[in-house]
């Protein structure tokens, strides 16, 4: 595990099953590299890629919308699935939801899936199914969507934050162990909330180090709830993410690898008793119907979304393969440049919800691509513990999360979609090459 945040690019070398690696198209980038001068180490004074031509080279913005492209590609099947639901007259917890739950569980290799209203609810309900609430504490990361932390707090539990591995951007098991030790030794005494669970996040579609995290969790008697909102179909040691923890939470937000056309989520588990609890919690704690046996909420996956998700689930493996193909093209384009690339681990099959590079010159690269009409995003610009709603409230082992905080300043998500066309990729390639030309990567 390295503490280096500006480590040399970790090249991914995985083979692309059926992927088309047009290295002759991309190889030209190698000629454009030159060393980054030491002066360029000061991003304020000499940010590269801020060349004077930016204002004059406004190109039409690339229109990249995963939900719109998804509808265009799968329109016929989606339209007929939606029409079927309208004809059925049943919109909540009907046969589409039951069928999707069965099919998604089979896809993941788990026994139970319970559809819920969204991914945030899925995390909250999974924690509550384990009995977690006020007076207890849950470990997670701050380099994630704020939803992860918000969901934990909604149970009434406290949040304890762990730093990340700077290569994978996921929970660092060593930091997890050190944080648990520090939390337990801290002078808060007996009144402090007891650690009950850990929520690793498979960020950007890259599996967290579950074998190591689970070993530590078992040592301390902690539940493991995977946040799989960005990792539908990602595998680790030939097992799907979502099939490792006590429970796992999925989001079907429209831009996800498996995305609905509205909100949606699911909790999955191999444990029948936990699945039953989740089922009760999502609908007022009803058992039997209209009699609340426990205090629940209303968080249901609706029939329209379930019907659409059934159509899209069939295409998920192919679409994840397309994402890997796009990632390989980026790898070839960016190999040997100053940008750090997503890592490869032999035991891992990531699904590239995002393709995230890092560089201290992130803002300049972003501005240069923007001027070329190439949209990029930052996931996430401010770590959760530094956001106004959370500042000073969450438990940190030391006063900061150094690797998380540097990552937030350096990460950039390049356009990633299974529907990216060769022409669109060519535009992106030109934009990146222009930036590399104007400031350079290594020779």
Ligand X SMILES: Cc1ncc(COP(=O)(O)O)c(C=O)c1O
Chain residues that interact with ligand X, rule: CB under 6 A: 118-120, 144-145, 147-148, 201, 227, 229-230, 251, 253, 263, 265
CA 211 to chain centre: 19
Shortest Å distance, C-beta 163 to ligand X: 17
Q: Which of 118, 117, 153 is nearest to 137 (CA)?
A: 153
User: Do residues 426 and 360 touch, judged by C-beta distance below 8 A?
Assistant: no
Which is nearer to ligand X, 213 or 339 (by Cβ)? 213
Shortest Å distance, C-beta 143 to ligand X: 10
DSSP label at residue 410: H
Which is nearer to ligand X, 137 or 249 (by Cβ)? 249
Distance CA 349, CA 238 (A): 8
Report DSSP letters for 197-246, one per residue.
Answer: EE--B-GGGPPP-HHHHHHHHHHHT-EEEEE-TT-TT-EETTEETTSSSS
CB atoms within 10 A of CB 373: 16
CA separation, residue 418 to residues 109, 230, 265, 351 (Å): 24, 14, 21, 10
421 torsion bin: left (phi>0), alpha (psi -120 to 50), beta (else): beta
Shortest Å distance, C-beta 109 to ligand X: 21
Which is nearer to ligand X, 40 or 201 (by Cβ)? 201
Shortest Å distance, C-beta 225 to ligand X: 11
Distance CA 349, CA 321 (A): 10
Which is nearer to ligand X, 107 or 169 (by Cβ)? 169
Which is nearer to ligand X, 251 or 413 (by Cβ)? 251
Phi, psi of 263 (to 5 degrees): -80, 155
Residue whose structure tokens are 């998700």: 309
Which is nearer to ligand X, 145 or 197 (by Cβ)? 145
Shortest Å distance, C-beta 49 to ligand X: 28
How many helices and strands, by DSSP H and E, does the chain display? Answer: 14, 13
Show the DSSP H helices in 314-361 as ranges.
316-334
Which is nearer to ligand X, 129 or 335 (by Cβ)? 129
Distance CA 93, CA 302 (A): 6
Which is nearer to ligand X, 251 or 368 (by Cβ)? 251
Shortest Å distance, C-beta 25 to ligand X: 32
Shortest Å distance, C-beta 120 to ligand X: 3
Which is nearer to ligand X, 161 or 371 (by Cβ)? 161
Shortest Å distance, C-beta 201 to ligand X: 5
Shortest Å distance, C-beta 257 to ligand X: 11
Shortest Å distance, C-beta 250 to ligand X: 8
Phi, psi of 171 (to 5 degrees): -50, 130
Which is nearer to ligand X, 418 or 431 (by Cβ)? 418
The CA radius of gyration of the chain, in Å to the nearest whole number, is 22
User: Do residues 413 and 419 touch, judged by C-beta distance below 8 A?
Assistant: no
Which is nearer to ligand X, 200 or 279 (by Cβ)? 200
Residue number, nearest CB to ligand X: 119
Shortest Å distance, C-beta 248 to ligand X: 11
Shortest Å distance, C-beta 263 to ligand X: 6
Distance CA 230, CA 256 (A): 6
- Coil, helix or strand for 24? helix
Residue-wise over 334-371: b if at least 16 C-beta within 10 A, else e? Answer: bbebbbbbbbebeebbbbbbbbbbbbbbbbbbbbbbeb
Which is nearer to ligand X, 50 or 387 (by Cβ)? 387
- Coil, helix or strand for 7? coil
């Amino acid at each position: 595990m390295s503490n280096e945040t500006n480590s040399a690019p970790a090249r991914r070398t995985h083979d692309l099953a059926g992927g088309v690696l047009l290295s002759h198209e991309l190889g030209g980038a190698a000629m454009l590299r030159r060393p980054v001068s030491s002066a360029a180490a000061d991003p304020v004074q000499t940010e590269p890629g801020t060349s004077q031509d930016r204002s004059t080279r406004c190109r039409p913005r690339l229109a990249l919308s995963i939900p719109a492209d998804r509808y265009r590609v799968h329109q016929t099947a989606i339209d007929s699935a939606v029409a079927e639901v309208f004809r059925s007259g049943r919109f909540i917890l009907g046969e589409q939801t039951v069928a999707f739950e069965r099919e998604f569980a089979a896809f993941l290799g788990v026994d139970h899936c319970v559809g819920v209203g969204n991914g945030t609810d899925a995390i909250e309900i999974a924690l509550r199914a384990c009995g977690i609430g006020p007076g207890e504490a849950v470990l997670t990361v701050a380099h994630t969507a704020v939803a992860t932390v918000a969901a934990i707090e909604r149970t009434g539990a406290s949040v304890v934050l762990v730093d990340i591995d700077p290569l994978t951007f996921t929970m660092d098991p060593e930091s997890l162990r050190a944080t648990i030790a520090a939390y337990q030794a801290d002078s808060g005494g007996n009144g402090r909330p007891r650690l009950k669970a850990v929520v690793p996040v498979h960020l950007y579609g890259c599996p967290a180090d579950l074998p190591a995290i689970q070993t530590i969790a078992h040592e301390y008697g902690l539940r493991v709830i995977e946040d799989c909102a960005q990792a539908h179909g990602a595998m680790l040691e030939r097992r799907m993410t979502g099939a490792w923890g006590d429970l796992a939470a999925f989001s079907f937000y429209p831009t996800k690898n498996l995305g609905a056309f509205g909100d949606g989520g699911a909790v999955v588990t191999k444990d029948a008793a936990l699945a039953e609890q989740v089922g009760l919690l999502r609908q007022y704690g009803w058992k039997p119907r209209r009699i609340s046996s426990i205090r629940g909420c209303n968080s249901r996956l609706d029939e329209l979304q379930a019907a659409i998700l059934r159509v899209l689930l069939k295409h998920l493996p192919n679409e994840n393969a397309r994402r890997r193909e796009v990632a390989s093209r980026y790898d070839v384009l960016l190999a040997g440049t100053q940008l750090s690339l997503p890592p490869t681990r032999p035991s891992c099959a990531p699904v590239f919800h995002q393709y995230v590079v890092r560089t201290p010159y992130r803002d300049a690269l972003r501005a240069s691509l923007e001027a070329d009409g190439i949209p990029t995003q930052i996931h996430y610009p401010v770590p959760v513990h530094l956001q106004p709603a959370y500042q000073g409230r969450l438990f940190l082992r030391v006063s900061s999360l150094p690797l998380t905080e540097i990552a937030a300043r350096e990460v950039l998500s390049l356009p990633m979609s299974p529907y990216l066309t060769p022409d669109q990729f060519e535009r992106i390639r030109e934009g990146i090459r222009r930036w590399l030309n104007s400031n350079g990567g290594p020779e």
